[in-house]
Amino acid sequence: MFRTILLVTAFSAAPLPALAQSQDPIPQILANFDKIDANGDGVISRAEFRTVQAARWPQIDRNGDGYLSEDDFPRWAARRVRTQLAEIAYLDENSDGRISQSEFVNKPAPVFRRIDQNADGILTRSELEAGGSG
């Protein structure tokens, strides 16, 4: 699902995994909770999450064209990349087949929405520990 792109975007200290890898981002978010929680209030807001996504954009947009697309990933991963990009197509507000930095940063990440079960716009440690399962 979207998990791999989240890993690529969510953490400045985490190594960049290949998009084709499938990893659960929740342990990474928990491990970096205090770094992501910039104001130290004990929760991760959408704004704090967006800040991290914006900081990671230059590493995601590997070809530097301002868009997340198949061109940003190795050819050997093309099929998986297409599948994963299709799963996050809702980020593509103008339906041009690419995800711009603005679209990527300003729309809530699917993993954020999944974990934020009560839809209050913040992630707590308990929501992360529950894994977005309810």
> Which range is least confidently modeled, 11-15, 33-37, 87-91?
11-15
Confidence of residue 126 (pLDDT cuts 50, 70, 90): very high
What are the CA-CA distances from residue 112 to residues 62, 122, 134 (Å)? 23, 8, 13
Indicate whether 78 belongs to any domain: no
Indicate whether 11 belongs to any domain: yes
Indicate whether 96 belongs to any domain: no
pTM assigned to the model: 0.67
Indicate whether 124 belongs to any domain: yes
Q: Which domain holds residue 118?
A: 3-16+23-66+105-130
Give tens-digit pLDDT for 86-101. 667 778 888 887 889 9
Q: Name the token pair of 109.
A: 């990440």
Burial 10-23 (b: 16+ CB within 10 A, else e): bbeebeeeebbeee
Indicate whether 76 belongs to any domain: no
Indicate whether 98 belongs to any domain: no
The CATH number of the domain holding residue 58 is: 1.10.238.10
Quote the number of domains for the chain: 1
Indicate whether 72 belongs to any domain: no
Indicate whether 99 belongs to any domain: no
Please report where in the chains the tokens 């230059």 appear, as a residue: 58
Report which residue type is found at 49. Answer: F
122, 15, 1, 54 alpha-carbon torsion, rounded to 10°: 50
